Amino acid sequence: MMHALKIQPAEETAVRAPTRRALAKQQTRAKVLAAARRLFSEQGYEGATIRDIAAAAGMSTGAVFANFTDKSDLFREIMLTDMVALADAMREAASHGASAEDALLKIFTAGYRFYQTQLPLARAAFSVGWSPQDGPALRGSPPVQTLVDLFAEQLARGVKSGELAQDPDAALRTQMLFDAYLANYDQAIFQGWTLDALQARSRDQIRILLAGVRRA
């Protein structure tokens, strides 16, 4: 819920002098998204139906479908909106990194902090992200690419500063760092790891994954 609030101003500034109808439509969308966010968190992606979401938003399923093509569209909208805010939080965290390695750790941690209060939604996102049907659309979306790029930028920064050697495997290394970041959510979701524990694990993982390019 927290960053539903955070996101809203950005959405509103994008709309110039909305007509009353546009405003009503926007409110309807916001209501559906808020209800969907809650139900996906409570019942998971599979468990939440459009019918339930419509009921929770106090409208007909028809009204939901007037705004979203289907459940996966609705879910993707929630995730992608979050990821734009997540990318901002990560970029800000990385800017305080003393080195590329430290910046990467700060990026990992910013992500875990971001989702700390809404792990059930993260869990639903993994369920969708791994599904053969909806996974590619979610994983291949521009906001996810922005996150991946942020990881790549830190490696490039390390090469530039001389901390890391030139890396023919930079793309692969970036992907592996991103996957390690994602894989740790399992510990957060299923084993209740604290932010500190996740951070300690991330530090070790980053150290292992940078070992091949770190200059002595």
Partner 1 sequence: MTSPPHLAATDDPPGGAAAPPAGDAAVAAPSQRQTQKEATRNKVIDAARELFDTQGYQGTTIREIARHAGVSVGSVFTTFASKGEILSQVMADRLDGLYAELDRVMPHLRGATIDRLRTMFAIHFAFEVRHTRLFLSHIAAAYDWTLSAGATPMGKNRRLQSIIRECLEKGVAEGDVCPDADAQEVIDLLMAAYAWTYRLAAWNDADAPAMTAVMDRQIGLIAAGFQPRH
Q: Per-residue x/- marks for partner 1, 162-191, CB under 8 A?
A: -------x--xx-xx--xx-xx--x--x--
For partner 1, which residue of 127, 141, 146, 199 counts as binding (CB under 8 A)?
127
Q: How far is the CB of 211 from partner 1 (least distance, A)?
A: 4
Looking at the Cβ atoms of 12 and 204, the one nearer to partner 1 is 204
For partner 1, which residue of 47, 92, 116, 194 counts as binding (CB under 8 A)?
47
Which pairs with CB-CB distance under 8 Å and at least 24 residues apart come from 113-120? 113/89, 113/195, 114/3, 114/82, 114/85, 114/86, 114/89, 115/185, 115/188, 116/188, 116/195, 117/2, 118/1, 118/2, 118/41, 119/185, 119/188, 119/189, 120/40, 120/41, 120/42, 120/44
Looking at the Cβ atoms of 54 and 124, the one nearer to partner 1 is 124
For partner 1, which residue of 46, 70, 73, 92 counts as binding (CB under 8 A)?
46
Q: How far is the CB of 209 from partner 1 (least distance, A)?
A: 6
Q: How far is the CB of 51 from partner 1 (least distance, A)?
A: 16
Nearest-angstrom CA–CA distance, 161 and 165 = 10
Q: How far is the CB of 44 from partner 1 (least distance, A)?
A: 3
What residues make contact with partner 1 under the rule CB under 8 A? 43-47, 123-124, 126-136, 139, 169, 172-173, 175-176, 179-180, 182-183, 186, 189, 201, 204-205, 207-212
